[in-house]
Amino acid sequence: MSITAAQVKELRERTGAGMMECKKALVETGGDMESAIEHLRKSGLAKADKKSGRVAAEGAVIQAGDESHSVLVEINCETDFVAKDENFRGFAEEVANLALGTADVDTLNAAGMANGQTVEENRQQLVAKLGENIQVRRLVHLKADSGVVASYIHGGRIGVLVTISGDDVELARDIAMHVAALNPAYRDVADVPADAVEKEKEILIAQAADSGKPADIIEKMVSGRLKKHLAEITLTGQPFVKDGDVTVGQLLKSKGSQVQAFVRLAVGEGIEKEESDFAAEVMQQARGG
């Protein structure tokens, strides 16, 4: 029978399950709404999706791939405890390997896993099993058309991919480690947007104006401070994390190499976390509240 969009919408609103799961449940139950709800509850999908509104700002960044093509995938959960669970880790690692062949999260969620079910179906079952909201949040690829790709994962929470010219994998990994530690916003000064440079310059001029110094001195002050600021936010301008006596740019030059691109993911960045008073929660539960 034909399932209408209105039926799917109603079932989604009543269960919180995904659109495709709702449509599938309606088809399997001949369009009977109550039977479809029961079907979703039995499969654990309704219960899983009820948790989708809870903040998931913990989790892991997983890397997969090799020196020619690598991917980083961020998968979130609610607590660090679940992030270390072997079921969560196994799911995350298989998903990361699948991500090598997918362009975006939607495509990844529809990809088939080893058990014959999709990533999304396995995610929902994992939510039901572990009792936390779990989300495949984002993925980024980096390929080396020439040169090499290296990765660095710090504590499972920060992941970096770097491509450099040449074949020095150790150098590329050192640069990736640096990016993980100092989080540069741009590769070099040429990559900093002109409007960002102009805005910073305006701020520095306003700060220097109160100094009472002559205009030519103020101009030199602003120029020096702007140069320092640009060095701080660019990869090549920053002091190398393993040797502060040289900048990353100087290190690359000494090795006859250049950074072609880099990407950095940190677990939960950009997610607004809920503040909670753990002691108060325990006391409330003890009081039966």
Instruction: Give CA separation, 118 vs 107, 204, 274, in Å.
Output: 10, 53, 30
Cα distance between residue 67 and residue 82, in whole Å = 30
pLDDT of residue 289: 44
Common-topology check for domains 144-184+244-269 and 189-243 = no
Closest CA relative to residue 184, chosen from 206, 166, 160: 160
Task: Look up tokens 């990407």; give the residue.
Answer: 263
Structure confidence by residue, pLDDT tens digits, 178-210: 999 999 999 999 999 999 999 999 888 888 877
Residue bearing the bigger pLDDT, 131 or 170? 170
**200-234: string of b/e by CB count within 10 Å (b at 16+)?**
beeebeeebeeeeeeeeebeebbeebbeebbbebb
Cα distance between residue 75 and residue 58, in whole Å = 8
Structure confidence by residue, pLDDT tens digits, 86-134: 999 999 999 999 999 999 999 999 999 999 999 999 998 998 888 888 9
| For residues 165-169, average pLDDT | 96
CATH class name, domain 189-243: mainly alpha
What average pLDDT is seen over the chain? 88
pLDDT of residue 215: 80
| For residues 239-249, average pLDDT | 96
- Which of 4-8, 59-63, 216-220 reaches the highest mean pLDDT? 59-63
| For residues 49-66, average pLDDT | 81
| For residues 60-64, average pLDDT | 98
| For residues 141-146, average pLDDT | 93
What is the residue extent of each domain of the chain? 5-53, 55-142, 144-184+244-269, 189-243
Listed in sequence order, the residues at least 6 apart from 225 whose beta carbon sits closer than 8 Å to its beta carbon are 204, 208
Note the CATH number of domain 5-53.
1.10.8.10
CATH class name, domain 55-142: alpha beta
- 3.30.479.20, 3.40.50.620, 1.10.3720.10, 3.40.1390.10: CATH of 144-184+244-269: 3.30.479.20
Task: Look up tokens 């989790």; give the residue.
Answer: 59
pLDDT of residue 34: 84
